[in-house]
Amino acid sequence: MNKFRVKSSKLTANPGEGGWAQVHEFKPEDKEKLALRGHLFAVVATSKQEEGVDSVVLGREVLARLHEEYFGKTKLKAFNALKNAIEKVINEFTESLGQVEIAAAVLLQDVVYSAAGGGSQAAVFREGMLAKILISKKGEVVSASGYPQEDDIFLLGTASLFESLGEGIIKAALTSGKPQEIVESLAPAVHSKKEGGNLGLVVIKFEKPEVFEIGRPEKESKEKSSVKDLKISPPPLLQKVMNRLSAIKIKFPKKRIYVRREEVEVEVVQKRKVAVSIGAILVILLIVSIGFGIRQKKIGETRSRYEGRLTEAQHEFEEAIRLFSLNPERARELFIHSRNLSEELLGEGVSDRDLDELKKNLEQNRGYILGEYKIEPELFIDISLLSEGLIGDDLAASAGQLFVLDKNGKRIVQVSIDTKKTEVVAGPEQIDEVDDIAAYAERVFILNSSGVFEVGEEKKKAVDADWEGEVLAYTYAGNLYILEKGNSEIWRYPGTGETFSSRQRWLAPGVEPDLGNIFSWTIDGSIWFLSETGGIFKYTRGNQDSLTIASVVPNLSSPSAIYTNEELEFVYILEKENQRVVVIDKEGNYQAQYLNEVIGEAKNLAVSEEEGKIIFLTETKLYSIEAKHLTE
- Give the range among 56-70, 176-190, 293-307, 574-588 with minimum mean pLDDT: 293-307
- Percent helix, percent strand, percent coil in the chain, to nearest 5: 30, 30, 35
CA 617 and chain centroid, separation: 25
pLDDT at res. 231: 46
Angle between helices 328-347 and 353-370 (to 10 degrees): 150
For the segment 293-322, the average pLDDT, to the nearest whole number, is 80
Place 610 in a pLDDT band, splitting at 50, 70 and 90.
very high
| CATH number of the structural domain 378-630 | 2.120.10.30
What is the rounded distance in angstroms from the CA atom of residue 325 to the CA atom of residue 132?
Answer: 11
133-171 pLDDT, tens digit each = 899 988 889 988 888 888 899 999 999 989 888 888 898
Asked whether the predicted pLDDT for residue 319 surpasses 90, the reply is no
Asked whether the predicted pLDDT for residue 220 surpasses 80, the reply is no
Average pLDDT over all residues of the chain:
86
Q: Judge: domain 272-370, CATH 1.20.58.
A: yes
- Give the range among 98-102, 450-454, 459-463, 617-621 with minimum mean pLDDT: 98-102
pLDDT at res. 278: 85
Place 297 in a pLDDT band, splitting at 50, 70 and 90.
low
- Give the range among 49-58, 130-139, 251-260 with minimum mean pLDDT: 251-260
- Give the range among 137-151, 383-397, 529-543, 569-583 with minimum mean pLDDT: 137-151
Place 229 in a pLDDT band, splitting at 50, 70 and 90.
very low
For the segment 262-269, the average pLDDT, to the nearest whole number, is 55
Using alpha carbons only, how large is the chain's radius of gyration in Å? 36
Structure letter (DSSP) for residue 259: S
pLDDT at res. 145: 84
Identical topology for domains 272-370 and 378-630: no
Asked whether the predicted pLDDT for residue 222 surpasses 90, the reply is no
Asked whether the predicted pLDDT for residue 370 surpasses 90, the reply is no
pLDDT at res. 54: 61
Asked whether the predicted pLDDT for residue 483 surpasses 60, the reply is yes
pLDDT above 90: percentage of residues in the chain? 52
Query: Are the C-beta atoms of residues 369 and 334 closer than 8 Å to each other?
Result: no
Between 539 and 98, the higher pLDDT residue: 539
- Give the range among 118-122, 144-148, 211-215, 302-306 with minimum mean pLDDT: 211-215
pLDDT at res. 369: 87
321-364 pLDDT, tens digit each = 888 878 888 888 899 899 999 999 999 888 899 999 999 999 88
Asked whether the predicted pLDDT for residue 35 surpasses 90, the reply is no
For the segment 41-63, the average pLDDT, to the nearest whole number, is 76
Q: List all residues 6 or more positions away from 321 whose beta carbon is below 8 Å from its beta carbon.
A: 331, 365, 369
Q: Judge: domain 5-207, CATH 3.40.50.1100.
A: no
DSSP 276-312: HHHHHHHHHHHHHHHHHHHHHHHHHHHHHHHHHHHHH
pLDDT at res. 158: 93
- Give the range among 183-192, 209-218, 573-582, 603-612 with minimum mean pLDDT: 209-218
Whether the pTM exceeds 0.85: the reply is: no
Going from N- to C-terminal start, the domains of the chain cover: 5-207, 272-370, 378-630
DSSP 562-620: EE--TT-SEEEEEETTTTEEEEEETTSBEEEEEE-GGGGG--EEEEETTTTEEEEE-SS
Place 621 in a pLDDT band, splitting at 50, 70 and 90.
very high
Q: List all residues 6 or more positions away from 350 whose beta carbon is below 8 Å from its beta carbon.
A: 306, 310
Asked whether the predicted pLDDT for residue 479 surpasses 80, the reply is yes
pLDDT above 70: percentage of residues in the chain? 88
514-534 pLDDT, tens digit each = 999 999 999 999 999 999 988
pLDDT at res. 296: 64
84-114 pLDDT, tens digit each = 999 999 988 888 888 899 999 999 888 899 9
pLDDT at res. 223: 43
- Give the range among 149-158, 397-406, 469-478, 501-510 with minimum mean pLDDT: 149-158
Asked whether the predicted pLDDT for residue 384 surpasses 50, the reply is yes
